[in-house]
Amino acid sequence: MGATKTKDYSANQLTIAALAKALGHPARVAIIEHLIKTDSCICNDIVSELPLSQPTVSQHLRELKSAGIISGEIEGNTICYCIDVNAIQILKDYINALTSTLTNKKNTCC
């Protein structure tokens, strides 16, 4: 999306779009599920878990971190990643609001 077009959307809409975009690849979903299962890990742990090369995993981790879905701490020569609960809460609140609106609305189309 061009920088000039973002002014037409609310901050919340831009946040949701960035989070959704980061979740738009099955490898990133698998990484998130792995992080939740293990509670934290380093990049090499993820590489051994997924059928992806280390540079590919690193790129997906960068995308997730850039969107704010994960955070990472440097520990020696490795980086330990974890889920940012706030980002997940934002997604949850958004989906709950959509669900609530649809539940309360009598949908007569299609």
Task: Kindly state the percentage of the chain with pLDDT values over 70.
Answer: 92
Mean of the per-residue pLDDT values for the chain? 88
- Rounded Cα distance, 83 and 53, in Å: 21
How far out from the chain centre does Cα 71 lie? 11
Residue 35 has pLDDT above 80, yes or no: yes
- Residue whose C-alpha is closest to residue 30's, from 16, 41, 17: 41
Average pLDDT over residues 13-41: 92
Query: What pTM did the predictor assign?
Result: 0.83
Q: What does the domain layout of the chain look like in residue ranges?
A: 9-104
Specify the pLDDT at position 20.
96
Name 101's Cβ contacts closer than 8 Å, sequence gap at least 6.
Answer: none
> In whole angstroms, what is the distance from residue 88 CA to residue 95 CA?
11
Query: What's the CATH number of domain 9-104, 1.10.10.10, 3.40.50.970, 3.40.50.2000, 3.40.50.20?
Result: 1.10.10.10
Q: What is the mean pLDDT of residues 93-103?
A: 90
> Tell me, what's the pLDDT at 108?
63
pLDDT of residue 1: 52
